Chains A and B, each alone.
Chain A
Amino acid sequence: MVTNNMTIKIGGEAGQGMDTSGAGFARALVRAGLHIFANSDFMSRIRGGYNFYQLRVGAKPVYAPDDQTHLVLAFSQDAIDLHLDELVPGGAIIHDTNLQVDANALAQRHIQSFAFPFEAKALEIGRAAGMDPKHAKQMLNTAQLGATAAITGFPFERIADVINQNFGKKKGSAVAEANLAVARWAFDEAQKYASQFDWKLIPPADGVNRMILNGNQAIGLGAIAAGCKFISAYPMTPGTTVIEFMTAQAKRFNLVTKQTEDELAAILFAIGAGQIGVRAMTATSGGGFALMVEALGMAGMTETPVVIVDSQRPGPSTGMPTRTGQGDLLFLLHASQDEFPRVVLAPGGVESCYADTARAFNLAEKYQCPVLVLTEGYQAFAVRSVGVEEMPFEQFEIDRGKMLTEAELDALQPGTYKRYALSADGVSPRALPGHPNAVYTSTSDEHTESGRMEDEDPANRVAQHAKRMQKIETLKTEMRMPEWYGPQNAAITLMGWGATRYAIREAVDLLNAQGVRANALHFIDIYPLDENRLAQELAKAKWLVDIEGNYTAQLAQVIRVYTGRAPDQKFLKYDGRPFTGAEIARWIAANVNTKPAKGKSAKVTKSAKVTKGAKVKLVKVKLAKGVKVKAAKATKVAKAKN
């Protein structure tokens, strides 16, 4: 019997409501005091296709998806066929009696099948409540939830609460009652299987309710907490939900949100607002960011604060809109002609999306430059239960840097203010336009200290360019070194950045549980970093394995340029899917000599270096069977420790 530690997959066609039932069940679990992590896997279409919602439940916080499944709620035949291999022995599929299962295949793998006449019953109850067949059929969702609650031992009242809440003011209506009746029927029917299913969901006595947020909502929240009042954007998956979230919250926080005619306008609106002194941002994906590049350089030249979120998806060009990847790092580091200070942050996890986006706004104003927040599709969509204490909104300290106060502006001698005054740290005191004593222009041309066009004088050019570039040096004193996770002096160090943070941590835990001393070095702040301090951190890694969602190991390239240190091995993939901890641990076990002779460091076990996705895939296929066993063992060890 395993309590409060399982993964449920809910699969079907787009439009069948897997997201709704998944989110409903997640809500019920979190209200019951459990932790969840959930992500949707969907195709770029609104109806049809095959989608699934993946829900991982834990007694302790869960930060990443698992690749083992314990329960599949199948809304379509695909859901049965596609997830069968992911189910652990003893796992189960709940499905309608009108879907087919291959009894032999199930028996071979010790998978159970719990079938119910969901649709027939939903139609019957719906008809009695006066619902048309289309809406009655949608009650399949509530039926599935009722059955799930029964076999996992989860209290029915918790499911009923969420159903009632979903109906809001229509609570008590015939439709709401019909849904409750369907759920109740399924709950009662499924009781007979409860003793056969080993995974249970039991609300803890001291359960605390938490928020459920995805990465893009957290980015929006970070912005709002940091005093961002303005977002302009053009819809592009997976960046769109940032402006959607902020627009939904615009009334509560008095925000201005603007969908513009294109991404060029999106960043320009934000820069216009930023020039005036409003904390402003835009959010997009790589293709949209490509259109913003000219304006990015302009903000660098006019030293206008602006925060730009790039939610990566595989590319180039249109690529894979609903998928994930880490292919934009070098693009963000180098976008634009010539040089100027910029900051690149790559948050890892929902709480980091919040905190590091908030920090982005302080950095943008303190250093008067664009700040790029690099997230990715997987992190944009995945939700986690977040404790109130993890996001102390009221406590964020807004730091606007060298901004002249109203009193300082009043005391200025008119005509003397220099927007681009030379200074030791490269940052010039900033007056917001609108005060009679500080009337000035900013220009994308090279300019004088007063901001007037000066595109000829070499001495002025040298002074202004050096002033701007000095901000990079100043920034380095504030930027954070990569974080360590796991034991010191480990034989293997896993290096990654951004959204892979928790998958890598989980791999570290799995490896250590297997007796492999591994740790992780993870980057959230990526640029600019102090090369000397960074080299010291890298020197602590004995055998460095780079883990990235791209083909060319973009972070590793950057680190090599910064420090001269190259990774010893690389695990790279670009299939559009997120890394999981078990997947990384398997790769390490298969490709790294994890038990080196005393005094020697880890080494490659295969003669050919595995750097290309195709090869990785081959390795994966070869290992798939044996590996599951290893991973399962590791989980058990970890449990025993807990």
Chain B
Amino acid sequence: MTLPIPEFKFTPKLYDGERQVTWCPGCGDYGIIAAVKQALAQLQIPPHAAFFVSGIGCGSKLPDYLKANGYLGLHGRSLPIAQGVKLASHNLKVIATVGDGDAYGIGAGHFIHALRRNSDFTMIVEDNKVYALTKGQYSPTSTRGWVSSTTPDGAIEIEFNPVVMAIAGGATFVARTFSGDPKHMAATFAKAIAHKGFALVDVLQACVIYNHVNTVEWYRPRVYKLDDDANYNPRDYTAAMQKAHEWGDHIPLGVLYVDERPTYEEQVKSLATTPLVKQALTYRKETWDEFRAAFM
């Protein structure tokens, strides 16, 4: 497939879906979907050249509200689907949009392996630190001691740190952004989508209904942008790990870590020339004759 090079400038409106959005008023997802459209427009990726994959949860509804190819699958299972899509058609820009429960809870096994595989796609996690669609249970990123219907005495586990895990696990692009900063989100998404290899963007997102602690007002004085720090080098693993552990009064936003490694698809010999979906399904008689000879 050759993707036509756009002759006109796309605007974010091109990606508007025809659906009535069902997110709660004030939900961080409104800002996130706007930033996604902004990033696609900035990169001039037309809707037919993008493929969104999501799971189940509030954030996972995002592709349903977009005009772009998409597959809304199962809770926790977006990453293997995304990688299957990418292997089938490696020219598509594949983007997975999922919540924190989906990404780091039920889907954690797939997350670990996506990190080390470096398949060329982007994972945007709408991380509101709570299970919202099922009405407020604690999530893997909920703060220790979080009180919810299933943890009335407070969550016993410590919280999962996705950016530390991503860097340690071999992700080649790890970033964090904040749903209260649309411009920063759009810029970060654009960098992630443009990155060659697996890119994680963890979005600190407010949930106005179920998370009354990590609100926009809570985050705003705490977050600061690494992008503003000329001395910060995201290629420095040790520095990145240090920043990734920072939390509390100071929460770094921006690109935490970047590495260069060949993508998974680049290293699959059968994909060297043509995307798999465009390859012939039948073989020459000589090919079959060689096969027969090998088994005789």
Contacts and interface: CB of A to CB of B under 8 A. Distances in A.
Interface of A: 30-31, 209-213, 224, 226-227, 229-230, 232, 249-256, 258, 260-262, 264-265, 268-280, 294-295, 298, 302, 388, 393-394, 398, 432-436, 438-445, 452-453
Contact of B276 (A265, A278, A438): A278
B84 A232 contact: yes
B10 to A, nearest CB: 12
Contacts of A227: 281-282
A268 B81 contact: yes
Nearest to B94: A272
B150 interface: no
Interface residues on B, range: 35 or more
Given A252-B291, A256-B271, A388-B292, 11 more contacts: A212-B296, A253-B287, A265-B109, A269-B87, A270-B84, A271-B84, A272-B82, A295-B77, A393-B288, A439-B69, A444-B56
Contacts of A256: 87, 268, 270-271, 276
A440 B70 CA distance: 6
Given A212-B295, A273-B88, A442 B276 contact: no
Contacts of B83: 269, 272
A520 to B, nearest CB: 30
A388 B293 CA distance: 10
B47 A439 contact: yes
Interface string B215-246: 00000000000000000000000000000000
Contacts of A274: 84, 88
Interface in B21-71: 46-49, 51-53, 56, 61, 63-64, 67-71
A433 B63 CA distance: 14
27 contacts: A30-B296, A229-B281, A250-B270, A253-B287, A264-B109, A264-B110, A265-B79, A265-B110, A268-B77, A269-B87, A272-B84, A273-B276, A275-B85, A276-B85, A276-B92, A277-B277, A279-B281, A298-B73, A393-B283, A434-B92, A436-B48, A439-B47, A439-B67, A441-B63, A442-B72, A443-B72, A453-B72
Contact of A276 (B67, B271, B277, B292): B277
A30 B292 CA distance: 14
Contacts, number: 186
B105 interface: no
Nearest to B70: A441
B1 interface: yes
A230 to B, nearest CB: 7
A437 to B, nearest CB: 8
Which secondary structure dominates chain A's binding surface?
A: mixed
A272 B282 CA distance: 22
B233 to A, nearest CB: 32
B137 interface: no
Contacts of A229: 270, 276, 279, 281
B9 interface: no
Interface string B79-110: 11111111111001000000000000000011
Q: Give the most central of B19, B67, B288: most A CB within 10 Å.
A: B288
Nearest to A210: B296
Contact of B80 (A264, A438, A442): A264
Given A273-B87, A276-B89, A276-B277, A453 B64 contact: yes
B248 interface: no
B51 A433 contact: yes
Given A210-B296, A394-B285, A298 B74 contact: yes
B152 interface: no
Contacts of B92: 276, 433-434
Contact of B72 (A294, A394, A445): A445
* A-B residue pairs, 6 tightest by C-beta: A272-B84, A227-B281, A268-B80, A441-B70, A269-B84, A276-B88
Contacts of A251: 269-270
Nearest to A249: B291
A584 to B, nearest CB: 31
B290 interface: yes
B84 A253 contact: no
B290 A252 contact: yes
Contacts of B1: 434
A250 B74 CA distance: 30
Nearest to B76: A264
Contact of A440 (B69, B270, B287): B69
B72 A275 contact: no
B84 A444 contact: no
A294 B74 contact: yes
B80 A260 contact: yes
A275 B277 CA distance: 10
Nearest to B113: A261
Contacts of B48: 433-436, 438-439
Given A251-B269, A264-B80, A278-B88, A442 B296 contact: no
A457 B85 CA distance: 30
A211 B294 CA distance: 8
A434 B89 contact: yes
Contacts of B295: 211-213
A441 B81 contact: no
Contacts of B52: 441
Nearest to A250: B270
Given A252-B290, A256-B268, A268-B80, A444 B72 contact: yes
